[in-house]
Structure 1
Amino acid sequence: MTEVDPRVLARARARVTGPVADAAAAPVPAGLVGVTDGERRWALPAWPDGATPALLEEYQSAPMPLERPGPLRRVLAAALRCCWRNLDDDPWPGRPAQIADVLEVHVASVRGDAELMRRWAVGDLRRLADTGWLLLDEEAGTVRLGPRTALWPPESLPPLRALLRRMPPPPAEGA
């Protein structure tokens, strides 16, 4: 029987289960990058430098499922606007925000029936949480940035900061 490379196995597990939180001191399997918020650690696939979205797609490792790409991106932007309050800092780990605030920023950023937009956005928040982009606690009514945001390269942050500065502020911040 052929032994499977532990890095390949670790990546396969991460793709199947998504990012799973572990104790902050737990070892990171080979082939993965550990991202911590102080209490917990997530193991995420480490992609080679220069891996483009097209290359990841070719290997069926797209960084984010996009069944509704536009709305999903807008909900992620609304969550970023609420959780990443100091845009001069890095986004990760951000701070918790009320789901209601994220929904209000989202509704203020799009056109259409507000109640319908809220309902669709809740589903998008769940999809983003399932893929590690957000950490959603529906019981507490809060959302935080997920571990995948920790892997954004610094050169990708300036345009993101510019976009977020143009978005409506969260209700608590705008009051």
Structure 2
Amino acid sequence: MTGPDPQVLARARARMLGAAASLPASAPVPSGLTRVSDGSRVWALPEWPDGATPSVLEEYETAPMPLDRPGQARRVLAAALRCCWTRLDDSPWPGGTAALAAVLEVYVTMTRGDADLMRRWAVGDLRRLADTGWLLVDEDAGSVRPGPRTALWAEDTLAPLRALLRRLPPPPDEGGPQA
């Protein structure tokens, strides 16, 4: 008797671990999933048909992005991209690594209110964005970079995002404001 089919095991592993979990670069990626790699690691992300709506998530029993404050999370993602995606003419993936402190400072300059409270909320959103594969956050190292989900953005859809990021405040190490 032979062991389990590697494709079946790979699909089960990808489904169980989710978008935020990376695998060794040699790991198989089953059909229906897209292989996204940064060289040493690979992520298996679902392939969605063009024009797919959120109802597809229900059909595939895939949890949507868990966001309490989606508008704030989008701003946190934009601040992270502003710091990590420094060459906007290139693809956002794999992007560069930025200091977590720089991302928080860009976010604070985009918002109103108590800066310390904004930073605390942003850290929570950074964690949620990391849990869903939009960002890769290493809190111990104090760094953040684009997550594997950004690799799935079609090139022809990036123009508005590039325009938005050009309007955001620059990271502190680029001569931006210090909060």
TM range (shorter): 0.7 to 0.9
Structure 2 alignment gaps of length 5 or more: 1-5
Superimposed CA distance per residue, residues 131-163 of structure 1 (whole angstroms, 9 cap, x where no aligned partner):
111111111100111100100111220000000
1:12 and 1:75 map into 2 onto residues whose CA distance is: 31
Count of equivalent residues: 171
Matching residue of 2:24 = 23
Query: What are the within-5 Å matches in structure 2 for residues 90-169 of structure 1?
Result: 90-169=91-170
Q: CA deviation at 1:55?
A: 4.1
Q: CA deviation at 1:9?
A: 7.9
Q: CA deviation at 1:114?
A: 0.5
What TM-score results when the alignment is normalised by the length of structure 2? Answer: 0.85
Q: CA deviation at 1:89?
A: 0.3
Contact kept, 8 Å, 2:22 with 2:41, in 1: the verdict is yes
Secondary structure of the structure 1 residue equivalent to 2:78: helix
CA-atom RMSD in angstroms = 2.2
Q: Percent identity?
A: 72
Superimposed CA distance per residue, residues 69-128 of structure 1 (whole angstroms, 9 cap, x where no aligned partner):
011111000000000000000000001000000000000011111010000000110011
Q: CA deviation at 1:54?
A: 5.0
What TM-score results when the alignment is normalised by the length of structure 1? Answer: 0.87
Contact kept, 8 Å, 2:14 with 2:44, in 1: the verdict is yes
Amino acid at match of 2:135: L
Query: What are the within-5 Å matches in structure 2 for residues 25-44 of structure 1?
Result: 25-44=26-45
Instruction: Classify 1:12/1:67 alpha carbon distance in 2 versus 1 (closer, same or farther; 3 Å).
Output: farther
